[in-house]
Amino acid sequence: MSESPEPRLLPWVTPEGKTCFLLGDGKGYVSRVANRIEAVQLDMADRLAAHADGMLGEPKLSERELRSLAGHLTRALRDVRRVAVSRGARLGEPGDVPG
């Protein structure tokens, strides 16, 4: 009997904020959608970081602008961390050789 695959952490949560997982071989429709969403999240985080660099170079930013930037950066950081955790889990334990 083969070992069951580990559940994949998906890059979204339920409307109630609960974590979503997927069981499967990583080749199905939901896996492909998750891969695309992860790519979009990483690209958006990259663009936001560049935007933040530009904003922080401005001599006068309002408190509202800084709070908005901090909120967007916080959400992007959560998304990127979720992608990293999901991908790291799929790599296996250190020293494991991929099948």
pLDDT at 44: 97
Give the start-to-end residue ranges of the domains of the chain: 8-88
The count of residues in the chain is 99
Q: Which two tokens stand for residue 52?
A: 């933040």
The tens digit of pLDDT for each residue in 13-69 reads 999 999 999 999 889 999 999 999 999 999 999 999 999 999 988 889 999 999 999
Per residue, what are the HEC states of 20-86? Answer: EEECCCCCCHHHHHHHHHHHHHHHHHHHHHHHHHHHHCCCCCCHHHHHHHHHHHHHHHHHHHHHHHH
The two three-digit tokens of residue 36, written as one number: 């695309």
pTM given for the model: 0.81
The dihedral through the CA atoms of 53, 54, 55, 58 has a sign that is positive
Q: Is the pLDDT of residue 93 over 70?
A: no
